Chain A
């Protein structure tokens, strides 16, 4: 099939999950109970809100990921054609990687990769 199959795959996933949840709605029992609605927290009552401020470490890694992910997009065309492009392209990739490596080293030395 051609690329229109993406639509088919998308719909197939929707049908499977939707069908499963729909079937469970029909087949499963419906016995409402006030305690059932409580979020789980070790069996005791929930204290305070759960959507709290979060440690900055996770966001730092997300930003670092963004930088390197863009880099991998640049790698794709180079990787597919480096055999034809030859040595000049290889030297360019080396320079590119050295700059990236320095960036990673900078983040490393600044303590962005530290988790305390």
Chain B
């Protein structure tokens, strides 16, 4: 990997420059403010881009044009939507539990923020390098369902309650598959730190090195995480045709925008983890063979940030593809799929991966 693409040179330089100016505490606070501001800008930008991408992808799958009026190629459509939502009146229904009703958007937005903190997007571009990163993300992302459940219950609306309960039953079920699929890969990586997992793939990605169990784990992870982020074909929590808007029926204006944004940021988080575990994060595509040295050198010239975001975009596109291709499932079908198929498959796959790890039958 070329050192010139390493962001830690830039961040280290800023850190040293600030250290020369102020006391360590002031440096820490200043850095926190800078990183926090950048993170908000990043999340807002990703939200705008991903919502537009979703609508464009949906349009192309259905042979429509999609948004094409505001700005070139409809590129400013989501910005206009955001401004419209921002200037809407905030309404709280009279029968709602006021405190919990207003708390739900906070919880829903906090979880992807906490998860984004440990993800390495490019060499050196990681807010905190936690040694239990994978475990932290699993723990934090299971908090997201709380926001949906609280929002659904506190609205005091029958559609919201049904949507929230469905979502709770579904998300907790699929969380098992997500965690087990991740743990299957942890057998190979032998580390819970996301940056170490990326570093272990410098000679090839785990989806190639890990043989068939890695491929099965990827498919299981992709299916389960699509369900965990409440996206179609598992978007029962907000099944429009039967539940109006599900758990966020009573939310309007900017509060609705945060529920909507959190779905897309969650998708980004999930896609980033898939990228890190299976496609080597920001690592370039390397072939683990003797004769491929030249090829590997050429791949090194593409910056890590391009690799990282390129792969994340690919996984997000896969998830959008799912949504606009498969019809929505029923709640009993969804729970059957998890408990009778994915979970037993995951348990067997875990043992298979352990067997491969022990026999040393991997690259």
Which positions in A face B, CB cutoff 8 Å? 1-18, 20-21, 23-25, 27-31, 36-41, 46, 50-52, 54, 57-58, 61-62, 64-65, 68-69, 72, 75-76, 79-83, 86-87, 90, 93-94, 97, 100-101, 104, 108, 113, 115
CB of A83 within 8 A of CB of B91, answer no
Task: Give chain A residues whose Cβ lies under 8 Å from the Cβ of B93.
Answer: 37-39
Contact B169 A58 (CB under 8 A): yes
* Interface set, chain B 169-202, CB cutoff 8 A to A: 169, 172-173, 175-176, 179-180, 183-184, 186-187, 190-192
Q: A14-B110, A17-B105, A113-B336 are in contact. Are A62 and B357 (CB under 8 A)?
A: no
- B105 — which chain A residues lie within 8 A by C-beta? 17, 21
**Cα–Cα distance between A65 and B354 once the two chains are bound (Å):** 24
A74 to chain B, nearest CB (A): 10
Query: Are A3 and B191 in touch, CB under 8 angstroms?
Result: no
- CB of B282 closer than 8 Å to a CB of A: no
Segment of B62-70, B154-162, B266-274 engaged in the interface with chain A: B154-162
**Interchain CB contact under 8 A, A24 and B88:** yes
The answer on a CB contact under 8 Å between A58 and B40 is: no
3 closest A-B pairs by beta carbon, nearest first, are A115-B332, A13-B113, A24-B254
Question: Size of chain B's interface in residues, with CB distance under 8 A?
Answer: 81
Contacts of B186 in A (CB 8 A): 76, 79-80
Chain B residue with the shortest CB-CB distance to A69: B176
Choice from A28, A54, A94 contacting B165 with Cβ under 8 Å: A54
B53 at the interface (CB under 8 A from A): no
Complex interface: chain A residues within 8 A of B116 (CB): 9
Q: Is the CB of A50 within 8 A of B158?
A: yes
Known: A5-B117, A37-B91, A65-B173. A15 touches B36 (CB 8 A): yes
CB distance from B336 to the nearest CB of A (A): 7
A31, B91: Cα distance in complex, Å: 10
Contact B192 A86 (CB under 8 A): no
Given contacts A1-B35, A6-B117, A9-B127, contact A14 B106 (CB under 8 A): yes
Q: Provide the bound-state CA to CA distance between A108 and B341, in Å.
A: 12
Q: Within 8 Å of chain A (Cβ to Cβ): is B288? A: no
Please name 18 pairs of A and B residues whose Cβ atoms are closer than 8 Å in the assembled complex, sorted by A: A7-B32, A9-B113, A10-B110, A13-B106, A14-B106, A23-B254, A28-B88, A58-B169, A61-B173, A65-B175, A68-B343, A72-B179, A75-B180, A75-B183, A81-B190, A87-B358, A90-B358, A97-B351
CA distance A52 to B159 in the complex (A): 12
A108/B340 contact (C-beta < 8 A), A58-B168, A83-B358 known: yes
Residues of B within 8 A of A94 (CB): 351
**Of the candidates B87, B158, B173, which one forms a contact with A24 in the assembled complex, judged by CB atoms under 8 Å apart?**
B87
CB atoms of A1 and B127 under 8 A apart: yes
A59 to B85, CA, bound (A): 36
Q: What's the Cα separation between A50 and B160 when bound, in Å? A: 9
CB distance from A27 to the nearest CB of B (A): 5
Partner of B351, one of A25, A87, A93, A104: A93
Seed contacts A3-B128, A24-B255, A97-B351; 9 additional CB < 8 Å A-B pairs: A4-B28, A16-B44, A21-B102, A28-B253, A51-B153, A61-B339, A64-B339, A104-B339, A115-B331
Across the interface, do B183 and A39 meet the contact criterion of CB distance under 8 Å?
Answer: no
Residues on A with beta carbons closer than 8 Å to the beta carbon of B157? 39-41, 50
**Chain B residues near A28 (CB, 8 Å)?**
86-90, 253
B residues 205-225 in Cβ contact with A at 8 Å? none
Taken together as a complex, chains A and B put the C-alpha atoms of A2 and B159 apart, in Å, by: 43
Shortest beta-carbon distance, A77 to chain B, in Å? Answer: 10
**Contact yes or no, B86 A24, CB < 8 A:** yes
Contact partners of B340 in chain A: CB under 8 A: 108, 113
Query: For chain B residues 88-113, which have a beta carbon within 8 Å of chain A?
Result: 88-96, 102, 105-106, 109-110, 113
Closest to A47 in B: B158
In the complex, which residues of chain B have a beta carbon less than 8 angstroms from the beta carbon of A72? 176, 179-180, 183
What is the chain B residue whose CB lies nearest that of A86? B358
Contact A62 B172 (CB under 8 A): yes
Q: Is B250 an interface residue (CB 8 A)?
A: yes
Q: How far is the CB of A30 from chain B (nearest CB, A)?
A: 6
**Interchain nearest-CB distance for B113 vs A (Å):** 4
